[in-house]
Amino acid sequence: MFLQLVYKLFLPPFLTNSHYFYRECYFTAESTNKKSEFMKCLNSSYRLACLQCSLTDKELGEFIQHKKRTEEISQKVAVGFVGLQDDGTWVLSRNVHLSSSGRLIPPSGSSYVWIGHVYGGIGVASCREECNISLPLSPTPLAALFEKIRTVFKHNFFPCILVIASTILSLQYENMLKNLNFCPIPLAFGESGTGKTTALQCGLALIGAWKKRFYSKLSQAKILQLCSDSSIPVGVDDPQSKNDISRLMIDLYNGAFSATVSRGVSRPKTTCIISANFTTVDQQR
């Protein structure tokens, strides 16, 4: 849990060496038990190391509790990963928070706060993970995309639409597991040069993710890690063998847990969309 602390006009007098009249910073609830950890969080938010605190650990704790009682400190949940959060909110970037009904939530009114740009660490979504989405949100780019792919793909127009639709479907991976206990793994296959990779990129581009969630020649373990770190689907282009696809389908179809020595136990939050020159129809598994 993270607390958002906003200073209006002046910083408290016990914080010295401050040259700003308005500043926003973040700190963990646990850090208020020790002055050194509290100042480390504040200085990390400022990207400086000049702030100092003249209070004792006890005085600092009493000050924070007073601020919380008077609601001068707003309490928010730090975004731990990009995508669908526990309460149904979608956090795609620091400025794009969507309600479960798809309405844009101003970051100031969201129960989540993006702190990856001021606080790095385990359990906090980093800036390199956020989707590249332009505001205001509009359906116009989707209509423009369909017009373009109709021209470019010609007779493969409808297969391309299916790949795009499968990408959007994959965003509901956890909901499908909850309601159906499985989620299909989209696979685009065909001869080289038929537009499979381009269709996959178009699907990811609609959610601002093709530059960050599009991969080739990844290990099985790495793909499962990516699927566990975010609910944004992973694009896997040109796997090496039918066995690679078969293993992914087994691991992701039912949302089974996986475990490694380094990462411990994890469960996928999303699936992957695969483009390949072959299928697994003759694989017994």
| Order of strands, sheet of 73-78, starting from the edge strand that comes earlier in the sequence | 23-28, 2-7, 73-78, 112-113
pLDDT tens profile 38-60: 887 777 766 656 677 778 888 88
Residue 173 has pLDDT above 90, yes or no: yes
Using pLDDT thresholds of 50, 70 and 90, give the confidence band for residue 219: confident
Q: What is the pLDDT of residue 49?
A: 60
Using pLDDT thresholds of 50, 70 and 90, give the confidence band for residue 8: very low
Neighbours of 124 (CB within 10 A): 17
User: How many percent of the chain have pLDDT more than 90?
Assistant: 33
Q: What is the pLDDT of residue 226?
A: 92
Paired with 187 in beta bridges are 274
Position with higher pLDDT, 277 vs 26: 277
Q: What is the pLDDT of residue 9?
A: 33
How far is the C-alpha of 192 from the C-alpha of 102, rounded, in Å? 37
Q: What is the pLDDT of residue 15?
A: 55
How far is the C-alpha of 81 from the C-alpha of 121, rounded, in Å? 12
Ramachandran category for residue 64: left, alpha or beta (phi over 0 → left; psi -120 to 50 → alpha): alpha
CATH topology of domain 140-276: Rossmann fold (3.40.50)
Residue 220 has pLDDT above 60, yes or no: yes
Q: Which of 33-37, 131-135, 257-261 has the lowest mean pLDDT?
A: 257-261
Q: What is the pLDDT of residue 6?
A: 45
- Cβ proximity of 113 and 26 under 8 Å: yes
pLDDT tens profile 233-264: 999 998 888 888 888 888 899 988 877 766 67
Per domain, the residue ranges of the chain are 2-129, 140-276
